[in-house]
Amino acid sequence: PINPWRIGGPVIKGFGRGSKVLGIPTANLSTVGYSDLLSEHPSGVYFGWAGLPTRGVFKMVMSIGWNPYFNNAEKTIEPWLLHEFNEDFYGEELHLIIVGYIRPEANFPSLESLVVKIYEDREIAERALEIPEYSKYKDDPYLTSPS
Ligand code: ADP
Ligand code: MG
């Protein structure tokens, strides 16, 4: 179990690889101002709750790190919201509560094996977030606060 932590800000543009290459869109957050939080928490896959003040609160599974498969030079914060949206929401305020850790960052021999693993991560997140010790955070006021 981890101590839940909160991060938020406007959704920024990433490299466009989430949805285009993987079929898995990730709403990127700026890491500016979060260097302390990020160095306290190991790179890897986490789960928790995501709030978009005008749209609601959704389950999310998130990668924090360098994405070894893509060889990124900078750490990124990339939550996949487990909900079907019919439009993008770049620029909107996104608030996250991270409540659990799934696994460390890993490299994969192929894009297929990476995608399979991310779908497993999603299953783990979906189920864990139904457990009261994790589900209770969906009511945290931070998720729906406008800023
Ligand atoms: P980028 O590299 O710019 O982050 P992605 O391919 O990762 O591009 O797509 C992410 C964008 O898709 C988000 O910024 C958001 O506007 C939109 N989006 C649509 N559905 C989702 C979802 N379920 N989870 C996360 N982002 C989503
Ligand atoms: Mg993304």
Atom of ligand 1 nearest to the CA of 19: 6
Q: What is the pLDDT along the chain (147 residues), one digit of tens a residue?
A: 789 999 999 999 988 776 666 779 999 999 888 888 888 899 999 999 999 999 999 999 999 987 766 766 678 899 999 999 999 999 999 999 999 999 999 889 998 899 999 999 999 999 999 999 999 999 999 999 988
Would you say residue 143 lies in a domain?
A: no
| Given the residues 78, 84, 112, 133, the one annotated as active site | 78
Helices (H), 44-87: none
Segment (H or E) for 36 = helix 35-40
Segment (H or E) for 65 = strand 56-65
Domain count, the chain: 1
CATH code, domain with 106: 2.40.30.30
Whether this model's ipTM surpasses 0.95 comes out as: yes
- The range of the structural domain enclosing residue 80 comes to 5-135
Contact (CB, 8 A) for 60 and 51 = no
